[in-house]
Amino acid sequence: MANGNQPFVQFKNVQKTYDGEILVVKDLNLDIENGEFLTMLGPSGSGKTTCLMMLAGFETPTQGQIMLGGTELNNVPPHKRGIGMVFQNYALFPHMSVAENLAFPLEVRKLTKAETEQKVNRALDMVELGAFGDRRPAQLSGGQQQRVALARALVFEPDLVLMDEPLGALDKNLREQMQYEIKHIHENLGMSVVYVTHDQSEALTMSDRIAVFNDGKIQQLAKPADLYERPDNAFVAQFIGENNRLSGKVTAVNGTGCTVEVAGNAVQSLKVNISGQGDISTLSIRPERVQLAPAPGSLPNIFDAKVLELIYLGDHIRCRMACCGDDEFIVKVPNTHSNTSIAKGDDVRVGWEIDDCRALDA
């Protein structure tokens, strides 16, 4: 366990290259607190899985240190790290029963038969599979197999559990159900979890903090709400949730705000990731923050738009519009009786607050 105020897991100046030339992880510094659920999120090839594999011991850092509870892990083999692991493909032994699969990591640790049986039963109850101990993995559904894999990672009560895209093979409804189950198990047991995924909604649902990876670096490390509401750069804004991007030139800077000229329109925005006047900037505006038909003068940003496409999605209508020179400008209109009906081809006005518009890097 971590001592005092020392982070439970630490990556210190970690680099990784497979060919001696291209760095897949670049000078990574990351602290993970005891009991935290941290997600490494990013596209394929961003370095997130390599970081997880180095923490697990299946890969070795080219440079830097990885610490667990104050102890350097670089030369500790995987089976001596005391870390639980859950993979996308379950990695269950097909010739063993569910109970035998769970007993295996306990037998390796030379627990008595009575202790093993007690811990196996407790782990099965934890994932609501108490009646399935005698079955083989092939007799279970995908969701049940993933629960067994999760129980096997938890059965020896590790302080740290690593999960590598564990829900990727499940269908949408089951995946969402398992997200909540894993989140509740984490809350109940209090162990630390490092979770790898490329699914941003999964990361937002489950995590205490999210590290967004791209090109071997952490682009932003923050709580889910901060990451969504206050992205630091254009990559994070686009990767986390749906996002309107308007490209323009900064014409004025005033304290925390700025004016950006976009297709002949002066857009008032927060100054987030620009150096000053004359910069090319990408404006980030969330579709649900755009207001349809605002009263004249009620918002600092009000512009003409044309409805190009309407898609009915149950709880909201997704409107694709031409606005500020962009034919892919999206507005999410809540599906309520009070909303004025709009139709394809309509000329409308849309608007948004300064706080909902962020001037980011080009």
**DSSP strand pairing (160-164 vs 192-197):** parallel
CATH class of 9-234: alpha beta
Instruction: Give residue limits of the domains in the chain.
Output: 9-234, 242-360
Structural contact between residues 177 and 147, judged by C-beta atoms closer than 8 angstroms:
no
Count the neighbouring beta carbons within 10 Å of the beta carbon of residue 54. 22
Q: Which of 154, 137, 360 is nearest to 258 (CA)?
A: 360
* pLDDT tens, residue order, the chain (362 aa): 445 578 999 999 999 999 988 999 999 999 999 999 999 999 999 999 999 999 999 999 999 999 999 999 999 999 889 899 888 777 889 999 999 999 998 888 888 899 999 999 988 988 888 889 999 999 998 888 888 988 888 888 888 999 998 888 778 888 888 888 889 889 988 899 999 999 999 999 999 999 999 999 999 999 999 999 999 999 999 999 899 999 999 999 999 999 999 999 999 999 999 989 999 999 999 999 999 999 999 999 999 999 999 998 888 899 999 999 999 999 999 887 655 578 999 999 999 999 999 999 98
Structural contact between residues 154 and 107, judged by C-beta atoms closer than 8 angstroms:
no
**Whole-number Cα distances in Å, 72 to 11, 67, 180:** 10, 4, 33
The reported pTM is 0.88
Q: Angle 113-126/142-154 helices, nearest 10 degrees?
A: 130
Residue type, 257: G
